[in-house]
Structure 1
């Protein structure tokens, strides 16, 4: 017998089959029942119901106001959202009872000037704190933030004395000129946005010969449009509804802003013995509608600006 015939092949020590592993084609026997979908539906229904209730709570006062403005004086407080007697005479009479056109123009002027000045001044101050390094920068910025903790009542009399010494009491100037010196909250908001911008972009522009003002005006500001829109819309709302400064500084009826004029109408027709509440609510509707229009126009910018600003710095 040859040597090849006497050689034995060793047995495979691992008898594991090398073929395909059988797979259970019926997974339903081991799958747990999915209970997340019913819970998800219940959660959506509850959240939707809460949103509807909150929306009604916010919308109802304005709907009531509009409804009351379309009623005669005897039906103003009947709490019907659909007027039993529909009339538009209130919108004609209110223009004869008060100089609404002058009040709206005064308010528009003050609001535009306040918005422009505070947006520009706050962006300049914020850019200085965000871009430049100087001794005491953090301490100075801390003082700016600390000014937000000072209540307005504490500075009301000194501010009045300053404007009175300048001969500005009785004019519209004190209602907006204070914004020339920026506002701490807007400085903080814009600074956080500036800190999130790439510094390499500004360094490259300065190396190419761009000056500080050109870098700020042509590069930094266009990149911060969402934050600037938030500042402008916030200040627009604040200036449009500002009553306190109108009460302090305005004297002549023709110089009143809308909030100050509404206060005078309330004193005359609401608590002055004449009881023409239909005129008061009609004037309130006229002055509220512009703010609603501005909100719907700028709501996208508000959401975008708040969302992007929250991720900066």
Structure 2
């Protein structure tokens, strides 16, 4: 320097000037390692994923064990059903159980195929009739204005609080007077008069659909029926599929091997329906933010 002072030392930025750099690098990578293992609220870590998926697999196994036992029992000969220790695999596999369960009467009961036909008729009628009638009533409460609408709607909702045991005897007397005992009519006709629960759900969902759709259709010359059939119902397919699944679920010793075979035959349509429509079914369950 010109003034004779001692020159200032320069900072060395090379890695060799600090022998502790390797330990510093290790500590600097610790947050990344923790993020990889533990994660945060935006990104699940490896440990969390392993724990969650492990619990899900365990729960899935627990839920599938009864179903596996039903399939296993359905394929066993009758002498192996209550054998101890239990046989986890039927030896030999007896496919004839399904044929016998379908066509053979048991203990003064008709064959299972008779139950299957009756169940199909009642279920198909119940799903179509309940959804159609409930949707029409719900559309009237959601879109039309008439005197006493709110009072009538509250009256319909109040029927949900009436236990079935209260109306069971009066219904039996009505069916008897109509000569409908030992027929399918008492299980089919009531579905054509709507369901209070379905009316409530559909009405709440219809109210979330903008009324501008109705007004535009009316300006184009569409009738109320066309608006209901071509606009409102297609927009409500998610909820209607959910209600259809719900209706099917509630449409409503011993040689256990034949019973299990019959049970598999009976539940197969429900499982197939849920398998092919599970996305819409789950979306329908999540509909909770209804317009008041």
Same fold by TM-score, threshold 0.5 exceeded? yes
Structure 2 CA distance for aligned equivalents of residues 31 and 64 of structure 1 = 50
1:107-146 equivalences under 5 Å are: 107-146=119-158
Structure 2 residue 69 is the aligned partner of structure 1 residue 64 = yes
Aligned position for 1:101: 113
Shift of 1:123: 0.4
Structure 1 CA distance for aligned equivalents of residues 49 and 268 of structure 2 = 33
Structure 1 CA distance for aligned equivalents of residues 49 and 255 of structure 2 = 46
| Match among 300, 307, 310 for residue 279 of structure 2 | 300
Kept after mapping to 2: 8 A contact 1:126/1:187:
yes
State the TM-score, normalized to the length of structure 2: 0.79
Structure 2 residue 288 is the aligned partner of structure 1 residue 310 = yes
Kept after mapping to 2: 8 A contact 1:69/1:76:
no
Aligned position for 1:280: 259
Structure 2 CA distance for aligned equivalents of residues 127 and 306 of structure 1 = 20
| Match among 254, 268, 276 for residue 289 of structure 1 | 268
Shift of 1:44: 2.1
Structure 2 CA distance for aligned equivalents of residues 96 and 176 of structure 1 = 25
| Match among 242, 251, 262 for residue 230 of structure 1 | 242
Tell me the alpha carbon deviations over residues 166-200 of structure 1, each in whole angstroms, 9 at most, x when there is no partner.
11111011112111111122112111211111101
Structure 2 CA distance for aligned equivalents of residues 153 and 41 of structure 1 = 54
Structure 2 CA distance for aligned equivalents of residues 36 and 141 of structure 1 = 54
Structure 2 CA distance for aligned equivalents of residues 36 and 175 of structure 1 = 59
Over aligned residue pairs, what C-alpha RMSD do you find? 2.3
Aligned position for 2:31: 33
Structure 2 CA distance for aligned equivalents of residues 231 and 58 of structure 1 = 24
Kept after mapping to 2: 8 A contact 1:68/1:278:
yes
Structure 2 residue 49 is the aligned partner of structure 1 residue 44 = yes
Kept after mapping to 2: 8 A contact 1:63/1:81:
no
Shift of 1:298: 1.7
Structure 1 unaligned segments of length 5 or more: list them. 1-25, 243-269
Structure 1 CA distance for aligned equivalents of residues 128 and 144 of structure 2 = 24
**Corresponding pairs, count:** 254
Structure 2 unaligned segments of length 5 or more: list them. 1-20, 39-44, 106-110
1:240-259 equivalences under 5 Å are: 242=252
SS at 1:176's partner residue?
helix
Structure 1 CA distance for aligned equivalents of residues 259 and 226 of structure 2 = 50
Kept after mapping to 1: 8 A contact 2:103/2:113:
no
State the TM-score, normalized to the length of structure 1: 0.74
Kept after mapping to 1: 8 A contact 2:73/2:256:
no
